Structure 1
Amino acid sequence: MNLVDLHLAINHSPLFSELFAFVLLVIGLLARKRTLVTAGLVVAIVAALCAFATAWSGDGAAEIIKKSPPIAGVDKALITPHEQAAGYFETASYITAGLALISLIIGWRRGERFRWLDVLIALAVLFSLSVVARTALLGGRIHHPEVRAVVKG
C-alpha cells in the first residue's frame, strides 16, 4: 500500500466527520443537550485530525501521480486546484478544532460552556463543511470525468 492507496482509502473521512460534527452540534444546540454538543465538539477535533492525515497522504499521493506515466481517466492538471482547496480546508478545520478545544476546556474548568461560543463553532463547522465539500468535488474530478465541468464552445 502506498500513499495513493492510503489517500483513496481515507479521503472521505474529513467530509463525513465534519458533517457528523455539524449534525451533533445543531441537534444538541436546538435540544439544549450538552452531551450532544460535547460530542459534536469532539468530532470537530477528530475532523481536523482526519484533515491532517488526508492532507499528509494527499501530498505524497500527488507527488507519486505527478511523476507517474499517464493513467487512463486521470487528469493531472486537476491535482493543483484540489491541493489548494485542501489547504483552505486544513486551515478552516484547524481553526474550528482550536475553538472546539477552547470550548471544551472552558466547560471543564467552569462546569458550563458559553452557548454563544458553541453556536460560533457550529457556524465554523458549517463553513468547514462547505470548504471540504468543494475540496472533495475537486478531488473527484481528478479521476471521475462525470463530475468535471462541461464547457461548450
Structure 2
Amino acid sequence: MESAHMHLLLNHFPILGSLFGLLLLGYGLLKKSDSVIESALFTFIVIAVISVPAFLSGEVAEEVVEHMNKQNDILIHEHEDAAAYGLWLMLLLGLSSLVALIRTIKKRENVRKFQYGIMLFSLIAFLTMSYVGITGGKIRHTEIRASGGLNQLNQIPK
C-alpha cells in the first residue's frame, strides 16, 4: 500500500477518535466511572500515536496531488499548516491523557479537575482536527469548496 493511500485511510482516525474519546470521557465523568474515564484517556493516547503516521503520510499524498491543479497549492498549504498545528494538539492531548491516566489509576487528589481539563482540551483538539479534515477534503473534493458545491446547486435551472 502506498503512502498516499495510507494517508487517506489514517486521516479519519484523529477526527473520529477524538470525538469518540470526548464523548466517552464526558459519559465517564457524568457517571463517575473510573473505568470509562480510563478507556477514554487510553483512546486519546492511541489516537495521538495514530496521528503521527497520518501526518507523515501526508507528505507523499501531497506529491500525488500537487501537480493536478494550480489551486491545489493554496489548499495544500492551508491543509499542511492546519495539520501541523493539529498534530501538536493531538500529541499534547495524548501526553496529557497519559498523565491523567496514571493519576486516575493511582487515585491522586484533584484528578477530576485534571480530567475535566482533558475534556476541554479534547474538544479543542476535535474541533481543530475537524478543520484539518475540511481543509484536506477541499483538495480533491470540489463539492465542498466555498466556490463550488451547494452554491452551484442553487444556480441549476429548475
TM-score by length of 1: 0.88
Q: Given the two structures, how large is their TM-score scaled by the length of structure 2?
A: 0.85
- Distance apart, 1:70 and its partner CA: 2.4
Alpha-carbon distance in structure 2 between the residues aligned to 1:36 and 1:47: 16
Q: Deviations over 1:103-151 (max 9, x none)?
A: 112233x334600000000111000000000000000000011110139
Supply the AA of the counterpart residue of 1:53.
P
Matching residue within 68, 71, 78 for 1:70: 68
What is the rounded CA distance, in whole Å, between the counterparts of 1:49 and 1:43 in structure 2? 10
Q: Which residue of 2 is the match for residue 140 of structure 1?
A: 137
Which residue of structure 1 aligns with residue 33 of structure 2? 33
- Which amino acid in structure 2 is aligned with residue 70 of structure 1? M
Q: Is the 8 A contact 1:96 1:121 kept in 2?
A: yes
Match of 2:155 in 1: none
Runs of 4+, deviation exceeding 4 Å? none
What RMSD in Å do the two structures reach over aligned CA positions? 1.9
Q: CA shift at 1:75, angstroms? A: 2.8
Tell me which residue corresponds to 1:130: 127
Counterpart Cα distance in 1 of 2:63 and 2:142: 21
Deviation digits for residues 49-96 of structure 1, max 9, x if unmatched? 121110011122213433xx426xx83431110010001111111111
* Per-residue deviation, 1:28: 0.4
Matches within 5 A, 1:1-153: 1-66=1-66, 69-70=67-68, 75-108=72-105, 110-112=106-108, 114-150=111-147
How many Å separate the matches in 1 of 2:85 and 2:76?
15
- Aligned residue type for 1:111: K
Question: What are the ranges of 5 or more consecutive residues in structure 1 without an aligned counterpart?
Answer: none
5+ residue gaps, structure 2, are 152-158
- Contact 2:34/2:104 (8 A) holds in 1: no
Deviation, structure 1 residue 29: 0.4
